[in-house]
Copies of this chain bind each other. A is one copy, B any other.
Amino acid sequence: MGGKADRIADLSGRPLGVRALQKRRRLLDATRALLDERGLRELRVADIARAVGASPGTFYQYFADVEDAVLHLAAEANAELPPLLTLFEGSWRGREGRDRARAVVDFFMAYWDRHGPILRIRNLAADEGDMRFMELRGAAMMPILAAMVALMQRSGAAERNPEFDPDAAALAMSAILDRLAAYHRVVENDVSHESLVNTSADILLRTLTGR
């Protein structure tokens, strides 16, 4: 993308050697770990640094602030999405369609189970208008939305009726996937995991294929 090879750099733009890369990685890992157990609000830079035996100054050499580190973690999470896209390809008829729909739902839940704390912060920041996070979320969603729209067009669901816009429908489906994946653990006191997956998959299947 950029003119030079995109080596990972510190805040002043200096490309990193191996030692620095390791420190940076461990700082990111520690950020993620502390985020998982405490949430953003109780996350202190000093704790992250201490967790990897570094001083606060080292953290600030690589990241402008905690949010900046979360931004990088969110970018890494984006890299795990491409396998999802293949699920939308091929036939979505009959039993195969049902299985594919379910696989999509499963994928999202697993993805959010792994990255929930980071994705939540990403979404909040994006919703609050932070451009960097908006772009990241856009990059994550766009291919998925496009795959859904393509499927609707292939299957004829797109011309269902004049009220129905495939782009909007794709947004609605991703809303279901995101939101339910985000809190499925909480609601599973009242609704079984099975039901949640089956029903979401059912709605997804109907909407994307027009039945």
List the interface of chain A (C-beta within 8 A of B).
39-41, 67, 98, 116-117, 120-121, 124, 126-129, 134, 161, 163-165, 167-169, 171-172, 175-176, 178-180, 182-183, 186-187, 190-192, 195-196, 198-203, 206-207
Contact = CB atoms under 8 A, between A and B. Distances in A.
Nearest to A130: B39
Contact of A171 (B98, B191, B198): B191
B120 A165 contact: no
Q: Which 8 A-B residue pairings sit nearest by Cβ, starting from the closest?
A: A175-B179, A168-B199, A165-B195, A39-B128, A163-B198, A163-B202, A168-B195, A167-B191
Contacts of A190: 167
Contacts of A163: 98, 198-199, 201-202
Q: Is the interface of A mostly helix, strand, loop or mixed?
A: helix
Nearest to A195: B165
B200 A172 contact: yes
Given A127-B182, A179-B179, 14 more contacts: A39-B128, A40-B128, A98-B163, A117-B128, A124-B124, A161-B202, A165-B195, A165-B199, A168-B191, A168-B195, A168-B200, A171-B187, A172-B176, A172-B199
A120 B127 contact: yes
